[in-house]
Chains A and B, each alone.
Chain A
């Protein structure tokens, strides 16, 4: 039982990180119909910004983290929107999907050539000391991850629902045309979405890299987890992405122990297929009404 609880807590901790990536994914989808096949690489990259700042800039760790967030906002937010999404969005979904696949190859191989092909150890924000609560061993790092991830999610929920800008962003997501008529600066709201996605990716990157190491190819697994989380939870709901992230994180950890390490990756995928077949709007999603 204690083992089970330990796995559960570890699963929720990684799941909360997946949720960060999945929320960004759904936000982009909602406001600009962008399916970002490079989302995993978006989570892989910021850790390398931080590593580069420490290695070549001699920056201390806290400064390197800030640099990573700033670079993410600039490159994964502003540049991604301006250079890739904006010129392509008018041509429909397919060219954009292909372009983000190209982007994922670009980022992966860019990091491999510019930094290293080896997995890099990444300094942890929290000490990895074990403490015991009611007979269950929990590491401080896991608790730290949980607090930060849920803190970010909470702030984001408050921002989207409780502030004027947040509500304008929701209006843009639901119906850009009506939002524009009502005087919402739709273009700026879409830019905010991309910035939030970049910031969430950076947070996820700084939290997950101490656990799984920073590696150029880790975007493949991370992207898949974010993908599955977003769809399982509901593509059009932020709280769906949170639930989906946690489910995927827990399943992932449990499957490694209770199913088989060889087919560990298959378990979230089976869930994905079942959800798509029997509840395509996701666990918490609304049905999308489509015009003919």
Chain B
């Protein structure tokens, strides 16, 4: 146990409290805080949605030790499923579950190549899948609206309209919390431990009786489902979707934010998503230069601390005298 670990539970409670209170107008309770403005709430919502998708990537990359460059495609599957079904008048929670389920099924199909090929080849297969999905979204106008995109209405849930930004934010926060604890539960279950065993040493895992094939497929399917869930929230959040956010570039970005945040650590995706979503806002003064600054930060980060920001924080909080066996690193440290 490091000092960092001892702080974990209070930190999570504090973070959750802040996420609930900060965007809200608290002046009615005698606290001089007017809450976040519309745009601030939108950015915070976007960060949570991005975190959900990044959690899925983290399961596949950080825990199961596979590679995926397809998360933006699954975000797209979720987004268009929810856009089309919401328009057809289905209730939100049904739509949300269906979006996740569809991504889960496609994830299983995409996971099959993972059984045959290793590592980087898998990245290439998922890369091809992303480009293919993007082409479909762009070209099949009758379904997706093509390059001109389609409008999405925010849903009405149990008679409550989620049109106001703050209401929809709380919906997203609730879904994020549910998905976060679900993933935590999965990872602490025997299943989750099998994922980690798979990453550490697939051959040994197999010899211990773990059905490697099933677990790789499961990791892929669950991780992809998180992409689908995120997409189902993303479409009504931005209220308009076109092919751009589901292209290859954003898919690479998901991978990038997970590794920069800290692959294989639970907080990693949230921190990585914060870097990818919030940093551009802080770098607004630099206008067009923001991507350049962002990419330099990423390259420096990888050179100085390849275990990501979480690794950096843990290094600071861990007493230096114990070069203990690191249980978080192997994905990154494993020699070529």
Contacts and interface: CB of A to CB of B under 8 A. Distances in A.
Contacts of A37: 252
Contacts of A220: 248-249
Main DSSP-derived SS at the A contact region: helix
A93 B331 CA distance: 9
A231 B121 contact: yes
Given A106-B292, A277-B117, A94 B128 contact: no
B131 A105 contact: no
Contact of A88 (B127, B252, B302): B302
A109 B260 contact: no
A112 B120 CA distance: 30
Given A273-B113, A276-B117, A280-B116, A105 B295 contact: yes
Interface in B102-146: 113, 116-117, 119-121, 123-125, 127-129, 131-132, 135, 138-139
Interface stretch (A63-71, A136-144, A161-169, A261-269): A261-269
Contacts of B259: 94-95, 98
A91 B306 contact: yes
Contacts of B83: none
A292 B249 CA distance: 34
A101 B259 CA distance: 12
Contact of A99 (B116, B127, B299): B299
A278 to B, nearest CB: 9
Interface in A48-107: 84, 87-89, 91-99, 101-103, 105-106
A44 interface: no
Contacts of A148: none
A38 B128 CA distance: 17
A95 B302 contact: yes
A84 B139 CA distance: 38
B113 A98 contact: no
B294 interface: yes
B216 to A, nearest CB: 15
Interface in B173-188: none
Contacts of A269: 128, 131-132
A113 B292 contact: yes
Contacts of B128: 269-270, 272-273
Contacts of B127: 227
B78 to A, nearest CB: 22
A292 B302 CA distance: 27
Main DSSP-derived SS at the B contact region: helix
Contacts of B124: 227, 231, 272, 276
Contacts of B298: 98-99, 101-102, 105
B303 interface: yes
Contacts of A276: 113, 117, 121, 124-125
Contact of B132 (A84, A227, A266): A266
Interface in A19-36: 33, 35
Residue picked from A102, A276, A292, most chain B C-beta under 10 Å:
A102
Contact of A92 (B117, B129, B295, B332): B332
Interface in A245-292: 262-263, 265-266, 269-270, 272-273, 276-277, 280, 292
A99 B302 contact: yes
Residue picked from A33, A95, A99, A263, most chain B C-beta under 10 Å:
A95
B256 A263 contact: no
A237 to B, nearest CB: 16
Contact of A113 (B117, B289, B306, B334): B289
Given A91-B332, A93-B120, A272-B125, 14 more contacts: A33-B336, A37-B252, A84-B299, A84-B303, A92-B332, A92-B333, A94-B259, A94-B331, A95-B306, A102-B302, A231-B124, A262-B135, A269-B128, A280-B121
Interface of B: 113, 116-117, 119-121, 123-125, 127-129, 131-132, 135, 138-139, 203, 248-249, 252, 255-256, 259-260, 263, 288-289, 291-292, 294-296, 298-299, 302-303, 306, 331-336
16 contacts: A92-B334, A92-B335, A94-B306, A94-B331, A98-B260, A99-B299, A103-B295, A103-B299, A105-B291, A113-B288, A262-B139, A269-B132, A272-B125, A273-B128, A276-B117, A280-B121
Interface of A: 33, 35, 37, 84, 87-89, 91-99, 101-103, 105-106, 109-110, 112-113, 220, 224, 227, 231, 262-263, 265-266, 269-270, 272-273, 276-277, 280, 292
